[in-house]
Amino acid sequence: MDNNAAQNVAEGNASKPPKLLIKGGKVVNADKTENVDVLVEDGVITDIGYDLAAPPGTMVIMADGRYVIPGGIDPHTHLEFEFMGTKSVDDFYKGTRAAIAGGTTMVIDFAIALPGQSLLEVYDKYRSMADPKVCCDYGLHVGITWWSRTVSKEMELLCAQHGVNSFKLFMAYKNMFMVDDGELYEAFARCKELGAVAMVHAENGHVIEKNVHKLKQAGVTGPEGHEMSRPEEVEAEAVHRAAMIASQTGCPLYVVHVMSESAAKVIEERRNAGQTTLFGEALAAGLGTVAPDGKCSFEVAAAHIMSPPLRKTRSTPLALMKALASGALQTTGTDNCTFNKNQKALGKEDFTKIPNGLNGLEDRMSVIWDKGVNTDIIDPQKFVEITSTNVAKIFNLYPKKGCIEIGSEADIVIWNPDKSKKISATTHNHACDFNIFEGMVVRGVPETVIVKGKVCYQHGRLMDSKGHGSFVPCQVFPPHVYGRREGKYRPDAGDCGKAKDTQYCLNTLNFPERQLLTSALQKAAPTAQRGCLKLFKELDSKGNGRIGPTEFFKVLQKIDVLQHLSSREADIFLKAFSSDSLSPNEIVYEQFVRACEQHCSTNCEPEENA
């Protein structure tokens, strides 16, 4: 290691990240695992390959067979959130610092406007709070709690000028955040027009209000009343209703914090029925624990209060993990919204006044690895998919984030699958004085965490990284979401690594081959994405979705593409769209068509009435 580079890393305050070379690791992406080295320069991955040489001045990190994975992306945090008469104690410094210690290198927080409040003003407020403090990159969803022409216009400005591509609405928290079905419809329709992703907190607020009234009349005032007032069917009904409204407006919908098996099944059923732009998010809390039993103290019970609530059913965490494994749910977050014991005590005499929220940012990755990978429910590639890649794809951060590829930002974690740690509030990096995973021993932890090319955590030590992160604009019309509309892009976010879209094809090739494929798609896509699937099927004598090179080139010739390609460009299609599990002489033609469709959704002029 170069002495200057080593000193900069040790001090944690280098103005420019040193060159890094990660050697001897297993690089895991959502679609593949490779024993390759990774070179990082100026915060970007510049080379991936076997036995790479270290340029002068490079810090060499030996991974020693450990996993090298993309940094986690948490799509759901509430840092410095003013809520229920108090404020969450993890600010943008403490929260992102804890995130890094757990292997998460980007968070997406929520700027939530109160009814009548300007969305732009709240956005500006959050930017001013976060920008000077964040240790890792962050983005912002914007919450909508009322509807008007002003809100509609501000949504457009946020998308066009401020890097926002997602808006959250609430079906609960009546008289605070809740909107009605008509407002939900208008907001979803506006999201569709703008190319944004709608998000929803799905619980039936009217039923919750009635249940609370009934429980209080019966003398229930303790924290047990929280879950009693919000049973599974209250969540599942709202998920179904929100999905129906999203379907009617043609808007992509992301359901935050799916906390019950019933709600997960609603999402799975609607996706299987064709609503492929419906996405579901599980939380570390729901995957790692359940609601405490009634014998626990107020302090413990209150610390676990969130909405929708943790379920008492012991089978729920397993069911949610299996939903992630099957692709019924696509992402994992935390809803990290931490309060201290004295803040939770605001609801000592009335469970409706207990501030809703708990921790998870630091422990998400380890809890999911321990409960998912160590139990053989998911493999390391699926782990990467649900903790990083799918979030990046849904919110249009991919491939800048969410993968380890040439040109991607160097948000990288060296993951030790064999090392264990015991989770405790006495040792965590959060600002709160309680941890819902207290005493849990998890196997699988981050050993080194690199954020934008800088080593920010290594062997249990956090470096000073305040202000190292920055706001990341999220552009509208994410191709992995809007490319699916009207059946144009069939693979869903839960199938990452199984289906091949343009990016997956790029990931199977070396750098010169990727450039060649991009050039070939540029020539083929405008014609091939319109109508050639039918021609392929006519030549598919076996009906198995595969044809030989001769038949493949017949179609390209018929649609007037082949004459515009060089022989090398034509051959790269054969390599990119064959499958390792198939004969190299067979082409999975639907993958070629999907790649052309996705390429056009990003690069081609839109068709009229598309």
- Answer yes or no: do 201 and 249 share one domain: yes
Same domain (yes/no): 443, 578: no
pLDDT at 528: 79
According to the model, what pLDDT value does residue 605 have? 52
Report the pLDDT value the prediction gives residue 489, as an integer from 0 to 100.
Answer: 38
Domain end point (choices 462, 489, 510): 462
Which position has the token pair 């050039």?
519
Shared domain check, 157 and 79: yes
Listed in sequence order, the DSSP H helices in 195-231 are 205-217, 224-229
User: Are the CB atoms for 533 and 587 separated by under 8 Å?
Assistant: no
Instruction: Please report whether residue 118 resides in a domain.
Output: yes
- DSSP 3-state of 252: coil
pLDDT tens, 320-375?
999 999 999 999 999 999 999 999 999 999 999 999 999 999 999 999 999 999 99
In a domain, 493, yes or no: no
57: in domain: no
Q: Are residues 340 and 449 in the same domain?
A: yes
* Coil vs helix vs strand at 134: coil
Q: Is 34 contained in some domain?
A: no
Question: Is 42 a domain residue?
Answer: no
Domain that holds residue 388: 70-462
Instruction: Please tell me whether residues 171 and 294 are part of one structural domain.
Output: yes
Q: Which residues pair with 358 in a beta bridge?
A: 336
Q: What is the pLDDT of residue 544?
A: 79
| Confidence (pLDDT) at 508 | 52
Split into its structural domains, the chain has a count of 2
Low-confidence ranges of the chain (pLDDT < 50): 1-14, 486-504, 506-507, 580-584, 606-610
Here the CATH number for the domain that contains residue 519 is 1.10.238
Domain containing residue 425: CATH number: 3.20.20.140
451 and 529 in a single domain? The answer is: no
pLDDT single digits (tens) 536-567: 888 888 787 888 888 888 888 888 887 788 77
Within this chain, do residues 280 and 333 fall inside the same structural domain, yes or no?
A: yes
- Domain boundary among the residues 443, 462, 481 is at 462
The answer to whether residues 524 and 408 belong to one domain is no
Q: 261 and 160 in one domain?
A: yes
Co-location of 439 and 522 in the same domain: no
The reply to whether 227 and 176 lie within a common domain is: yes
Q: Give domain status of residue 495, yes or no.
A: no
Tokens linked to 172: 């609960």
Residues 6+ apart with CB under 8 A from 425: 432, 433, 434, 435, 438
What's the distance, CA 504 to chain centroid? 18
Greatest alpha-carbon span in the chain:
80
Return d(Cα 488, Cα 578) in angstroms, integer. 21
Do 425 and 518 fall into the same domain? Answer: no
Share of the chain above pLDDT 90, in %: 75
Residue 202: which of 162, 163, 244 has the closest Cα? 244
Cα 263 to Cα 286: distance, rounded to the nearest angstrom? 13
Establish if 294 belongs to a structural domain.
yes
Which of 440, 462, 484 terminates a domain? The answer is 462
Any domain includes 378: yes
